[in-house]
Amino acid sequence: MDLRPLHPDFGAELLGVSLADVATPGALGEAAYALVRAAFEAHSVLLFRGQEITDELQVAFSRRFGTLEVAKVASLGEGTPFSILTNVDPATGRLVPPDHKEALRAKANQLWHTDSSFKQHPALASVLSARIIPPTGGETQFASQRAAWHRLPEATKARLFDACVWHDYAHSRGQIAPHLASDRERAAMPAACWRIRWRNPANDHDSLYLASHAYQVEGMDEADSKALLAELIAHITDPAHVYTHEWQAGDVVMWDNRATMHRGRPWPASDHARLMKRTTISATEDDGLAGVRPPASARAAATAA
C-alpha cells in the first residue's frame, strides 16, 4: 500500500489497496483492514480511486470498521444502511425542482458539518461513493478539526478544554428553511451534548468537535456562544486548510467524523443529476466516545430544557 497526500494538513489517497481487499473474508481482509485502519487514524480522510463499487461491497467494507448506522427517519434510504444524497426523484427518475425537499437537503449539506453529531450516538466514520457525478461542480470539501485544534492559541485550548456544546439537526436545517426538519424528525432526534474536544485514543490527538448542527456552548451566554461557534468554525474551515475533492467515476472517500468537517458544493442541479451513497459507522468506546460524553451537570441541563 502507498499513500499520496491530499493536503498538507490531512488526507491521503491509498494506492495498492481496494475496498474489495478490505471486504475479503478471513485473514487477508483483516490484514488489509489493519493497514487501512491505521491510515484512517493517521490521515482522517482516505481516497480510493477506480473502485468497482456496489451496495454489497460498500456495506462489507464499512462493516469492517464497526456497526453501521441505519439511515435516519424521513431521509432517502430510511431504515437501510444507506443515506442517499441526490437530486433525482426516486419516484419519477426526473430531476427535482429547486424547492423540493431533496434540493433543500442538498443545500443543508453545503453547510460545514460532521455527520451525526446531532444523534444520541455519534459516528466514527462515513464512507461516500459517487454513483452519478455532474460534469461540473458537486465537489466535496474537507477541513481537519484536528489540525484546527493544534493551530489554536494555548489560551484558547485551555478555555475550551472542558467545554460542551449542544448539537441539533433542526438547527442546521433551520439555516436553510424553517420547516426543513419535520415534526417527525424533531421528535426522533432531540438535541445532543458533546465535549468540544474529541481525543483519539489511537494517537492522543485532540480535535475541535463542531458542526453546523452545533448551536449552543453549555452554560454560556447565547450571543457569546453564537459568536464563539461561528469563529471556531471559520477557524477550522479557513480556505488555506481546506481540501476540495473533485469526484471521478469509481471514487470512494472515507472520513473520520471525529476529526474532520465536510460540505458538499453546489452544481447546476436543474440540468445535471448527482447521486451519492453514504454508509456511516457508529463510534464505540474504543474510538474515544467516553471522553466526549458531557459531565452530569450538562446532562441535567438537557433534562430541564
- The residue ranges that bind ligand OGA (CB under 6 A) are 85, 109, 115, 126, 128, 140, 262, 264, 276, 278
Handedness of CA 109, 298, 233, 66 (dihedral sign): negative
Q: Which residue number is nearest to ligand OGA in terms of Cβ?
A: 264
Find which of Mn ion, ligand OGA, none residue 146 binds, CB within 5 to 8 Å per kind: none
Residues contacting Mn ion: total by CB under 5 A: 1
Question: How far is 192 from 246, CA to CA, in rounded Å?
Answer: 32
Q: Which is nearer to ligand OGA, 126 or 225 (CB)?
A: 126
Find which of ligand OGA, Mn ion, none residue 276 binds, CB within 5 to 8 Å per kind: ligand OGA
Which residue type occupies 74? Answer: A
Least distance from C-beta 245 to Mn ion, angstroms? 13
206 counts as binding Mn ion under rule CB under 5 A: no
Handedness of CA 223, 224, 229, 231 (dihedral sign): positive
Question: How far is 139 from 246, CA to CA, in rounded Å?
Answer: 5
Angle at alpha carbon of residue 68, lines to 164 and 209, rounded to 5°: 20
Q: Which is nearer to Mn ion, 115 or 251 (CB)?
A: 115
Find which of ligand OGA, Mn ion, none residue 278 binds, CB within 5 to 8 Å per kind: ligand OGA
Q: Which is nearer to ligand OGA, 21 or 115 (CB)?
A: 115
Least distance from C-beta 35 to Mn ion, angstroms? 25
Q: Give phi and psi for 213, each to the nearest 5.
A: -75, -15
Least distance from C-beta 142 to ligand OGA, angstroms? 10
Q: Which stretch binds Mn ion (CB under 5 A): 98-106, 115-123, 244-252, 265-273?
A: 115-123
Q: Which is nearer to Mn ion, 33 or 209 (CB)?
A: 209
Question: How far is 74 from 49, CA to CA, in rounded Å?
Answer: 31
Q: Which stretch binds Mn ion (CB under 5 A): 9-17, 49-57, 86-94, 109-117?
A: 109-117
Question: How far is 274 from 131, CA to CA, in rounded Å?
Answer: 8
Asked if residues 199 and 288 have their Cβ atoms less than 8 Å apart, the reply is: yes
Question: How far is 80 from 57, CA to CA, in rounded Å?
Answer: 15
115 counts as binding Mn ion under rule CB under 5 A: yes
Question: How far is 30 from 8, CA to CA, in rounded Å?
Answer: 29
Q: List residues binding Mn ion (CB under 5 A).
A: 115
